[in-house]
Structure 1
Amino acid sequence: MSLLHDTPLGRASDYVDQYTPALLCPVPRWDAREGLELENSDLPFHGMDLWNAYELSWLNGKGKPMVAVAELTIPCTSANIVESKSLKLYLNSFANTRFESREAVIAAIEKDVAHTIGAPLDVRILSLKEAQREPLWEDHGQCVDGLDVSFEGFEYSPDLLFTDQGPEQSGVLFSHLLRSHCPVTNQPDWATVMVRYTGAPISPASLLRYVVSLRNHQGFHEQIIEQMFIDIQRRCAPRQLTVYGRFTRRGGIDINPFRSNFETLLPNARTVRQ
């Protein structure tokens, strides 16, 4: 099992253009969950990580280049995540390899990534015409970004979260202001995050301050969304909770973690920044 210093992150890399499954690197989920005091056998959420890869190309049986968009749906119960740069390098390795069909490419990705993460996954490959018909993000609920709120610091602080007085309600709050940092390269990651809940009314201003407090916080995309789920659950105690992050792409790949304790996966709807 790879440690972070064994991955391609932050290193100069050779771009192999012949199919090479060995390029994939796993990162254990347990490392981050231990810090959240979670047990992998009894997670307070279910969910998926949706990966969209926009730079997939291979050769068909006649040697003609094909281009497509790949969608990988990885269960949050997998032992590992895939280190994102390693997935980019792996998908680039398809470029000068012949595959007889789209189905053969899907089968290869499913087999190789399942071996890396330690769990089965779903893989779709969309032609560009098919990808154009995929849904786009539509705003539902309250965007907290327009609130006239002052900020005194940018240090991660879950204590900023609180609920308002009032009866239980079902609500949706979202923000386009989420920023965090890669724990290896310290590069910034940008995202839209949606919180859907049923419970005591979550203060919109408190959620905005909390989101902004993550501005210099380090974590992989999946870890940041799980941190948010746990913080909101512990501070606001909603009966039902979903946290869904839509991160902007890096290296031709965007990652979109979905965590919930009551609903199934929401549509893979691309935001304006993706």
Structure 2
Amino acid sequence: MNLPEHSQLGKASPYVDQYDAGLLFPIPRAPKRAEIGIGGTPLFFGADLWTAFELSWLNPRGKPQVALAHITVPCESSHLVESKSFKLYLNSFNNTRFASADEVRQRIRADISAAAWQGGPVRSQVGVNLVLPELFDREPIHELDGLNLDRLDVECTRYQPAPELLSAAFAEQPVSEVLVSNLLKSNCLVTGQPDWGSVQIRYSGPQIDQAGLLQYIVSFRNHNEFHEQCVERIFMDLWTRCKPAQLTVYARYTRRGGLDISPFRTSHPGPMPLPVRTARQ
């Protein structure tokens, strides 16, 4: 079984510029999910939404091509893909000739699908969309919609996840709210390097105490965990402590190594968020 400490994270890595799908390093989702009480099929839907800003390859005449890539990895896949290995894999396209952008798209889709399911039955495909240079100007920048929790003047003393900070008004009428914060920070599970993000929480149910929620978000500040795992932990803590009827947690993390990851988890089926990045991304 691939473990995070066996990946290339925090290690000197050779620069491979010829296509090599073997550079991808899948990590099983199950062990970290077991830590937060998920023993079988998760109760949420969603995906890990990647944006690759440094994708390049050669056309048949050897001329470099560039594109942005939006990659959607379904959260029901058995494995996530470690981000440095993803970067190394994309770098391996740099001096490789492909017949067309569509061939590049299909190759990425096949390779990430194989890594995410690790030989098991593929229950949902990875999505890949390439944005070519003539469409770069259409890529929007927009902050997460919702009531900003960061307006609250709260005292923060906890810097490891503290779900006991969460509470809700169970005796009052339920509400529907969208709450956001730009104060999400966690650290890489292996290297301890900082990961900066914004988070949007959309829910219906007992009204969540906003001050406690902001303190809870801040409590991830010194926590070492991958982006995907942090979002699932936030989802499960809110689901367990605040008992919403519906819940969606969406985090947009800033890029590292030309990649950003935006995990999206929701209790009910619905459309994925549009690939709109925040100013910090």
TM over 0.5: yes
The CA distance in 2 between the partners of 1:139 and 1:5, in whole Å, is 33
The CA distance in 2 between the partners of 1:90 and 1:125, in whole Å, is 16
Deviation string, structure 1 residues 216-263 (Cα, Å, up to 9, x no partner): 111100000000000001111010000000000000000000000123
**Partner of residue 21, structure 2:** 21
**Partner of residue 76, structure 2:** 77
Percent of pairs identical after alignment? Answer: 48
Tell whether the 8 Å contact from 2:46 to 2:264 is kept in structure 1 after alignment: yes
Tell whether the 8 Å contact from 1:47 to 1:264 is kept in structure 2 after alignment: no
Matched, 1:268 2:275: yes
Q: How much has 1:183 moved relative to structure 2? A: 1.0
The CA distance in 1 between the partners of 2:84 and 2:90, in whole Å, is 10
**Partner of residue 11, structure 1:** 11
Q: CA RMSD in A?
A: 1.2
Q: For 1:33-48, list aligned pairs within 5 A.
A: 33-41=33-41, 43-48=42-47
Which SS does the other structure have where 1:55 is aligned? strand
Unaligned runs of 5+ in 2: none
> What is the number of residues matched between the two proteins?
273
Tell whether the 8 Å contact from 1:135 to 1:267 is kept in structure 2 after alignment: no
Tell whether the 8 Å contact from 2:70 to 2:275 is kept in structure 1 after alignment: no
Letter in 1 for 2:47: M
Q: For 1:20-169, list aligned pairs within 5 A.
A: 20-41=20-41, 43-118=42-117, 119=122, 120-164=125-169, 166-169=172-175
Q: How much has 1:31 moved relative to structure 2? A: 1.3
Tell whether the 8 Å contact from 1:26 to 1:117 is kept in structure 2 after alignment: yes
The CA distance in 2 between the partners of 1:92 and 1:73, in whole Å, is 19
Deviation string, structure 1 residues 12-35 (Cα, Å, up to 9, x no partner): 001110111111110100111011
Using the size of structure 2 for normalisation, the TM-score is 0.94
Using the size of structure 1 for normalisation, the TM-score is 0.96
Which piece of structure 1 moves more, 128-137 or 113-122? 128-137
The CA distance in 2 between the partners of 1:55 and 1:92, in whole Å, is 8
Unaligned runs of 5+ in 1: none
Which SS does the other structure have where 1:40 is aligned? coil
Tell whether the 8 Å contact from 1:40 to 1:77 is kept in structure 2 after alignment: no
Which SS does the other structure have where 1:256 is aligned? strand
The 1:173–1:108 alpha-carbon spacing in structure 2 relative to 1, beyond 3 Å, is same
